[in-house]
């Protein structure tokens, strides 16, 4: 089985239907994970997105905020919409692909809470939620750890830039939510909980800067390049070696009225 997977925090799917269309026509992903769709399921533009070549669509929506959707050319069955941390947010959705005799493949689409401004769980409930969310992910995947043959991919906006080269200035961002030691440590625990492999860093060495998000407030995002790598694609060890290529589509940051995140694309060949 070979397929192209993409993940994109779209920051309102209804406002950017034309950009999703542009992306899909140019890059032809077989599966597309969207985050921050910012609408309830009933307002999700399933007909328009289906017409782009995605007969299989799963949506976990919420009014005004958050929300994730997985679109696919390949058939899948919805596995779970998990309310991680029990706050009623739409931040996770998983599907199972049963492609052509191959062993099942689980695809998780995740949107980790941003965490607010103040990086102190005692003063900031949103930061507390973010840390709890990451801890809950680690416990959940840790509980599946014995199932070493399970084939899973996780894609989404994890809202943490773990490596020093995942931010424009490691020193200046140590106290900025997304790159604080508390978050990085929690994210590392999620990764270790199931031996998750960082697909993007399999293709770009850790010494090299790699970003997927640039603030709307930078007048010239490319010139200042104050980016962060907040979006990720991970795979379980059973899939290591299956990701043959990876692209961060930074040119999408220049598209008209685009998201502040850009798509991340990975090509898989699974025996």
Partner DNA sequence: ATGGCTTACAAAGTAAGA
Give whichever of 17 and 79 is closer to DNA, judged by the CB atom: 17
* Residue of 229, 169, 170 lying closest to 203 (CA atoms): 229
Give whichever of 208 and 217 is closer to DNA, judged by the CB atom: 217
Q: How many other CB atoms are found less than 10 A from the CB of residue 225? A: 13
CB of residue 106 to DNA, shortest distance in Å: 24
Which residue(s) pair with 60 in the sheet? 68
CB of residue 271 to DNA, shortest distance in Å: 35
CB of residue 12 to DNA, shortest distance in Å: 3
CB of residue 130 to DNA, shortest distance in Å: 9
| CB of 56 closer than 8 Å to CB of 71 | yes
Residue 216 region by backbone torsions, left for phi larger than 0, else alpha for psi between -120 and 50, else beta: alpha
Work out the end-to-end distance of the chain between its first and last CA atoms, rounded to an integer number of angstroms: 6
Give whichever of 52 and 114 is closer to DNA, judged by the CB atom: 114
Give whichever of 30 and 157 is closer to DNA, judged by the CB atom: 157
Q: What is the DSSP string of 192-260?
A: HHTT-EEHHHHHS-TTS---SEE-TT-TTHHHH--EE--EEEEE-GGGTT-EEEEEE-GGGGGSTT--S
Give whichever of 96 and 114 is closer to DNA, judged by the CB atom: 114
Applying CB under 7 A, the residues found at the interface with DNA are: 9, 11-12, 14-15, 36, 38-40, 63-66, 113-117, 126, 157, 159, 173, 176-178, 213, 215-219, 226, 228, 230, 257, 260-261
CB of residue 149 to DNA, shortest distance in Å: 33
């Amino acid at each position: 089985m070979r397929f192209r997977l993409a993940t994109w925090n779209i920051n309102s799917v209804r406002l950017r239907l034309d950009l999703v269309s542009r992306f899909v026509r140019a890059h032809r992903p077989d599966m597309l994970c969207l985050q921050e769709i910012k609408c309830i399921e009933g307002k999700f533009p399933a007909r328009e997105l289906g017409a782009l070549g995605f007969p299989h669509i799963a949506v976990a929506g919420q009014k005004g905020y958050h929300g994730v959707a997985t679109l696919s050319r390949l058939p899948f069955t919805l596995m779970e919409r998990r309310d991680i941390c029990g706050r009623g947010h739409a931040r996770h959705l998983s599907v199972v692909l049963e492609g052509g005799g191959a062993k099942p493949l689980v695809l998780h689409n995740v949107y980790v809470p941003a965490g607010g401004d103040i990086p102190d769980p005692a003063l900031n409930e949103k930061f507390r939620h973010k840390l709890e969310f990451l801890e809950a992910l680690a416990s959940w995947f840790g509980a599946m750890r014995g199932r070493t043959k399970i084939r899973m991919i996780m894609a989404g906006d994890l809202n943490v830039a773990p490596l020093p080269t995942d931010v424009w200035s490691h020193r200046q961002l140590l106290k900025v939510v997304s790159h604080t030691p508390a978050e990085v440590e929690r994210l590392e625990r999620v990764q270790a909980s199931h031996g998750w492999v960082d697909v993007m860093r399999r293709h770009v060495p850790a010494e090299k800067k790699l970003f997927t998000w640039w603030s709307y407030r930078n007048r010239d995002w490319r010139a200042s390049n104050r980016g962060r790598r907040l979006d990720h694609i991970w795979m379980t060890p059973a899939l290591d070696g299956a990701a043959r290529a990876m692209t961060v589509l930074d040119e999408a940051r220049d598209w008209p009225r685009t998201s502040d995140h850009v798509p991340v694309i990975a090509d898989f060949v699974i025996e």
